[in-house]
Structure 1
Amino acid sequence: MTADRPAAIHSDHHADVSGGWLRPAVFGAMDGLVTNIALIAGVGGGGVSSRNIVLTGVAGLVAGAISMGLGEYTSVRTQNEQVAAEVAKERRELERFPEAEARELVSLWTKRGLPRHLAEQVADILKRNPDEALRVHAREELGVDPDERPSPWVAAGSSFVCFSVGALVPLATYLVGFDALWLALAVGGVGLFVAGALVARFTNRSWLGSGLRQLLLGAAAAAATYAIGSLIGVTGPL
């Protein structure tokens, strides 16, 4: 294969945007980082002991990871079930009113600039292939591909694992024996920047801008919870 052949002929020149793992993975990692950074800043600002900071952070990690995993599973499965129901409705309409459905396609395509005679020819050909007709109608009318639905298990697993990893980052310094709040928050800030920079790899945006954006958002959350913790002023063991 020559180096100057067009990229479009390669089957893998695009990223997989339909697998259902990237959004929950990114959301989980960012949520884990921000949640535990904010929790640690809040209870640390209130003056609690290092032991209680670790307890709060571990509880936040476990509860948040379970919640994220269950939430992603439920939301993706619900979305898939809704798509399946709409596709089944479209299938019934194609079986009962094939001519009317063909006219809908012709109308959609002509509005986009396709010549009417060509649109009618394509719609007529599709009527002879019910399975392909269903796929085309689902894409054109519903905006979904019935053959490319994300897995709820993949979404749940991605979210669970990435939330856990993200939430572990600001806890790491306490777990290895350091008890300085500023150090935990600094490590969490580095984690936010790195996570934001890594996300830029999938979006072709500036890694520096993406990293700084996540760092600033996390810092704002930590500042808010630290201020609240300081105002409440809890001291000593909880």
Structure 2
Amino acid sequence: MSAVEGAASRPRAEIHHEHRDVTGGWLRPAVFGAMDGLVSNFALIAGVAGGRVHHQVIVLTGLAGLAAGAFSMAAGEYISVASQSELAQAEIEVERRELEHNSEAEELELAQLYEARGLDPELAREVARQLSRDPEEALGVHAREELGIDPGDLPSPVLAAGSSFLSFAIGACLPVLPYLLGAESLWPAAALAAIGLFAAGALVSRVTARSWWFGGLRQLALGGAAAALTFGVGSLIGTNTV
């Protein structure tokens, strides 16, 4: 029997189950950014509305909260991701220099790492030798094994900042929208915010083990509590200043 026929006759591994993305992928930061904008701006609007001010003041407050929060989120995310990326690049350069000047020691280090994970010593040394033949491949292996990062897949600060700005702005826009359309009371904004909170909580349940209705109700309760608290503070201050 030929090698091709032998390979074809071997049983193939079958996948009988699928795992969810435990990191959350893009969904987690996007939904949490929108949720942050929704909760913070709705609470801000509720606090101002509790002071019984004119609806134009509420609109101005909501738009100011949207702009300030979105720019703050974008700036913070940019600095955070850029700093993390710069640190990773610096550590990758350290590893690159070690591979250039101490290649044998780095190969031995890699072999010891695989041996510690259960490979036989001879097999561990052979795997390390083959992976070390290409300097760039060796750099990627060492970075992933020792630093837990992929040199070719570092996060983009600009993308992180842009997505944070957009998701926060979308969430923060919801409670302002009824006032922009002519609403005079807090109730339309509260209803739209409640729908958004429940929907965001339900979406987050896709990356957790909770049911969608539990995630939605939990987020609705937390966001509602924040808005109720700030509304009470606004009512108290507004009453005392009249």
Q: Secondary structure at the match of 1:89?
A: helix
Match of 2:94 in 1: 89
The whole-number CA distance in structure 2 between the counterparts of 1:52 and 1:6 is 62
Q: CA deviation at 1:130?
A: 0.9
What one-letter code is carried by the residue in structure 1 that aligns with 2:96? Answer: R
Spell out, residue by residue over 1:123-175, the C-alpha distance to the aligned partner (whole angstroms, 9 max, x if none): 11122111111001000100001111122222111111111111111112111
Cα-to-partner distance string for 1:16-68 (whole Å, 9 max, x where unaligned): 9698x545423321111011111011111122221111110010011111111
Instruction: Tell me the number of residue pairs that the alignment of Structure 1 and Structure 2 aligns.
Output: 229
Which is further off, 142-151 or 174-183? Answer: 174-183
Task: State the TM-score, normalizing by the size of structure 2.
Answer: 0.84
Q: Which residue of 1 aligns with 2:40?
A: 35
**Residue from 70, 73, 85 that aligns with 1:68:** 73
Partner of 2:63 in structure 1? 58
How far the C-alpha of 1:204 sits from its partner, in A, is 6.5
**Counterpart residue number, 1:171:** 176
Q: 2:156 maps to what in 1?
A: 151
What is the RMSD computed on CA atoms of the aligned residues? 2.7
Change (3 A) 1:190 1:235: farther
Change (3 A) 1:18 1:208: closer
1:193 aligns with 2:212: no
Aligned to 2:118: 113
1:27–1:159: 8 Å Cα contact kept in structure 2?
no
Give the conservation status (yes or no) of the 8 Å contact 2:73–2:161: yes
Query: Unmatched 5+ residue regions in structure 2?
Result: 1-12
In the alignment, the residues of structure 2 paired with residue 219 and residue 116 of structure 1 have an alpha-carbon distance, to the nearest angstrom, of 59
TM-score by length of 1: 0.85
Which residue of structure 2 lines up, in the alignment, with residue 139 of structure 1? 144
Q: Distance in 2 between matches of 1:54 and 1:176?
A: 10
Aligned partners of 2:76, 2:201: CA distance in 1, in Å? 23
How far is the alpha carbon of 1:230 from its aligned partner?
A: 2.0
Change (3 A) 1:69 1:7: farther
2-structure distance, mates of 1:39, 1:86: 42
- C-alpha change, 1:124 and 1:156, in structure 2 (3 Å) is same
8 Å contact kept, 1:38–1:226: yes
Question: Residue 168 of structure 1: SS of its match in structure 2?
Answer: helix
The letter of the residue matching 2:63 is: V
Contact 1:24 1:156 in 2 (8 A): no
SS in 2 for 1:179: coil
5+ residue gaps, structure 1: none
